[in-house]
């Protein structure tokens, strides 16, 4: 700010230097003035150069730190939001806000703030100099400038509207690109390359049209400013010229005033353009703060305490859960004792995964409560609750990192020996060591350099390394071949001893050894018992069992019959 003020203030000195050059040097031929004036000019411009460097460097430094803080805050806040938030917002839209919108805010902080401060002060300093030198000419000039602001402000509102639409479209473009890349196998398998190209093309054309309309408005601003400035300068030249010819003003006075006028035009034009930039920045900031202002559905109480390590049971007390007005789970009453293996079965969409997601508080119950050893999970810290739970889902997610880091995810302090032990337990060690770089091999985005079975075993190793007292297995062996499934199933059975396990089962062959099987239908528990007991009842579980047999899976049928 000091550098800006010094730079701007020295602008007011330039018209007076012009006056001395014309009146004292050219007209009066004053030798003394000619001797020291060049040194004054060098000193003034040397100071301007020094403070200009300071202003630009420091502004870049400050802007970089502000944008880094905003981006870190936005990223951190997004990660803190509940799962339901990510169901409502596309990945592309969030990435767009984190990159494009924050980038626009950065542009405002550099260009707009500098212009508002430096150009405003320059304009004020030059205006004061102009009125001091010639109040009447100053009045003629400044009648035109304020009039020109009105249409520029009106144009700025249109730019703001087009910018908002453009930022939304950029988010949609990012989503389309992200989906096409992540789903490239499906795109190619179904021959939909042209379809995806056309979808992207339509959105890109929409963005182009918005950009052209916004650019048209911005393009009008500069010539409009120049035309209005030309009227002001023309009026001053006409009136001032007659005054010099008539002897009422010296050439130096007139040239000094004209210098002030020309110098004033540049900051005034920048300020007019700054309005357009500000409108774009306001839109970007609004979109950033829309996210920052969202509160997570899952909130931790200020008085929350660490969760007790499971010693007795997890219990659902009249639990209901729904999305909006639609209930997915209804009056769930369920006790899972420590060390017990409980399986959830039912047709797709009955709420099996949702019920499991309530335990680590990925969602909060709509009504009722869930307790661990009698303590409501909403009364404990989220970190301490989730630290006790290991999750392996059928949709394996791995990061574009080394195998070692993927297994140690959530346990980054673990040494290599523990990582290798977890991989061994998940029957992943052999294929990992066969890779060129072993545990330091980078597996690509979503683990695409590994097979489905290999990815699943890495995910299981990750859960095993965590060594949690509670395991949630969402058909954890679904992506394995028969041999791998047998090995991993044996490893899981050994590791389940002494742990509380909730299994979400789609293939009934995987839950024969469960202590209890819970059958869900229309969001409610309809049956409960062992595999043999439920088959004997010839009710819903028996129907599911029979249906799987009729689907013709001979391997699965043999397993079920045994």
Helix (H) or strand (E) holding 6: helix 2-11
Paired with 336 in beta bridges are: 314
Where does residue 65 rank: exposed (0-12), middle (13-18), buried (19+ CB within 10 A)?
exposed
- Which pLDDT belongs to residue 377? 92
Tell me which of 1.20.1560.10, 1.20.120.450, 2.30.30.60, 3.40.50.970 is the CATH number of domain 2-173+203-292: 1.20.1560.10
Question: Which pair of tokens denotes residue 377?
Answer: 């999970």
Q: DSSP 3-state assignment of 476?
A: coil
Rounded Cα gap, residues 300 and 383, in angstroms: 10
Detail the DSSP E strand segments found in 469-554: 470-474, 500-504, 516-521, 524-529
Rounded Cα gap, residues 119 and 275, in angstroms: 13
**Does this chain's domain 2-173+203-292 share its CATH topology with 298-388+472-562?**
no
Angle at CA 484, nearest 5°, toward 483 and 488? 125
Detail the DSSP E strand segments found in 398-449: none
What are the structural domain ranges in the chain? 2-173+203-292, 298-388+472-562, 395-467
pLDDT values of the chain reduced to their tens digit, one per residue, 562 residues: 888 888 777 776 777 777 777 766 666 677 777 777 788 888 888 888 898 888 888 888 888 888 888 888 888 888 888 888 887 887 777 888 888 788 778 777 777 777 777 777 777 777 777 777 777 766 665 665 556 555 666 666 666 677 667 767 777 777 777 777 666 767 776 677 787 888 888 888 887 887 787 777 766 766 776 676 667 667 667 777 777 777 776 777 677 777 777 777 677 767 766 777 777 788 888 888 888 898 888 888 888 888 888 888 899 999 999 877 788 899 999 999 988 889 898 887 788 888 989 999 988 999 999 999 989 999 999 889 988 888 887 777 788 888 888 888 877 777 888 888 888 887 788 888 888 888 888 887 777 788 777 788 888 888 888 888 898 888 766 555 666 667 667 666 766 767 888 988 766 666 777 889 898 888 899 988 888 888 888 888 778 777 766 654 544 444 444 4
Rounded Cα gap, residues 201 and 556, in angstroms: 47
Rounded Cα gap, residues 517 and 192, in angstroms: 42
* Contacts of 427 by beta carbon, 8 Å cutoff, 6+ apart: 457, 484, 487, 488, 491
- Which pLDDT belongs to residue 149? 57
Of the candidates 276, 271, 360, 274, the residue with the CA atom closest to the CA atom of residue 314: 360
Tell me which of 3.40.50.11810, 3.30.2310.20, 3.40.50.300, 3.40.50.720 is the CATH number of domain 395-467: 3.40.50.300
* Contacts of 148 by beta carbon, 8 Å cutoff, 6+ apart: 224, 225, 228, 229, 272
- Which pLDDT belongs to residue 378? 92
Detail the DSSP E strand segments found in 42-93: none
Of the candidates 479, 375, 559, the residue with the CA atom closest to the CA atom of residue 545: 559
pTM of the predicted structure, to 2 decimals: 0.70
Rounded Cα gap, residues 436 and 126, in angstroms: 70
- Which pLDDT belongs to residue 133? 73
Q: What is the CATH number of domain 298-388+472-562?
A: 3.40.50.300
- Asked if 314 and 370 count as a contact pair (C-beta separation under 8 A), the reply is yes
- What is the per-residue DSSP string for 130-199? HHHH-HHHHHHHHHHHHHHHHHHHHHHHHHHHHHHHHHHHHHHHHHHHHHHHHTHHHHHHTT-HHHHHHH
Paired with 370 in beta bridges are: 316
- Asked if 48 and 10 count as a contact pair (C-beta separation under 8 A), the reply is yes
């Amino acid at each position: 700010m000091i550098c800006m003020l010094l730079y701007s203030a020295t602008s007011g000195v330039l018209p007076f230097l012009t006056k001395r050059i014309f009146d004292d040097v050219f007209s009066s031929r004053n030798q003394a003035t000619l001797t020291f004036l060049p040194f004054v000019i060098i000193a003034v411009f040397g100071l301007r150069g020094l403070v200009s460097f300071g202003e630009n460097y420091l502004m870049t430094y400050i802007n970089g730190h502000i944008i880094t803080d905003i981006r870190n805050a936005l990223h951190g806040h997004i990660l803190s939001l509940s799962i339901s938030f990510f169901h409502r917002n596309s990945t592309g839209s969030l990435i767009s806000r984190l990159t494009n919108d924050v980038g626009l805010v950065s542009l405002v902080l550099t260009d707009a703030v500098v212009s508002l401060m430096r150009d405003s002060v320059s304009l004020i300093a030059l205006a004061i100099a102009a009125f001091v030198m010639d109040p009447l000419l100053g009045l003629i000039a400044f009648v035109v400038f304020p009039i020109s602001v009105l249409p520029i402000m009106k144009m700025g509102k249109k730019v703001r509207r087009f910018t908002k639409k453009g930022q939304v479209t950029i988010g949609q473009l990012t989503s389309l690109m992200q989906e096409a890349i992540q789903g490239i196998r499906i795109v190619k398998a179904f021959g939909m390359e042209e379809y995806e190209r056309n979808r992207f093309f339509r959105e890109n054309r929409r963005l182009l049209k918005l950009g052209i309309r916004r650019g048209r408005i911005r393009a009008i601003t500069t010539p409009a400013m120049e035309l209005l400035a030309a009227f002001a300068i023309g009026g001053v030249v006409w009136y001032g010229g007659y005054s010099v010819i008539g002897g009422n003003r010296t050439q130096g006075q007139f040239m000094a005033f004209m210098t002030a006028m020309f110098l004033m035009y540049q900051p005034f034009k920048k300020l007019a353009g700054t309005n357009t930039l500000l409108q774009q920045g306001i839109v970007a900031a609004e979109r950033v703060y829309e996210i920052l202002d969202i509160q997570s559905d899952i909130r931790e109480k200020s008085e929350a305490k660490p969760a007790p390590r499971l010693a007795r049971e997890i219990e659902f007390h009249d639990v209901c859960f729904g999305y909006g007005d639609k209930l997915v789970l209804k009056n769930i009453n369920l006790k899972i004792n420590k060390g017990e293996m409980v399986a959830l079965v039912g047709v797709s969409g009955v709420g099996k995964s949702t019920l499991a997601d309530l335990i680590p508080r990925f969602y909060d119950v709509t009504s009722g409560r869930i307790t661990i050893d009698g303590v409501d999970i909403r009364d404990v810290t989220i970190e301490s609750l989730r630290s006790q739970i290991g999750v392996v889902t059928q949709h394996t997610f791995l990061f574009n990192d080394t195998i070692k880091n993927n297994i140690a995810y959530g346990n980054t302090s673990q040494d290599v020996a523990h990582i290798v032990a977890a991989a061994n337990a998940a029957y992943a060690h052999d294929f990992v060591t066969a890779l060129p770089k072993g545990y330091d091999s980078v597996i690509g985005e979503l683990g695409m350099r590994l097979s489905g079975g290999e990815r699943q075993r890495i995910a299981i190793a990750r859960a095993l390394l965590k060594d949690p007292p509670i395991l949630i297995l969402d058909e954890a062996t679904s992506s394995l071949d028969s041999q791998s499934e047998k090995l991993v199933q044996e490893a899981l059975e050994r590791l389940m001893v002494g742990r509380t396990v909730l299994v979400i089962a789609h293939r009934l062959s995987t839950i024969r050894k469960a202590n209890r099987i819970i059958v869900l239908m229309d969001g409610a528990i309809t049956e409960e018992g062992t595999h043999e007991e439920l088959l004997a009842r010839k009710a819903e579980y028996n129907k599911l069992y029979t249906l799987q047999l009729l689907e013709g899976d001979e391997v699965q049928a043999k397993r079920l019959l045994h």
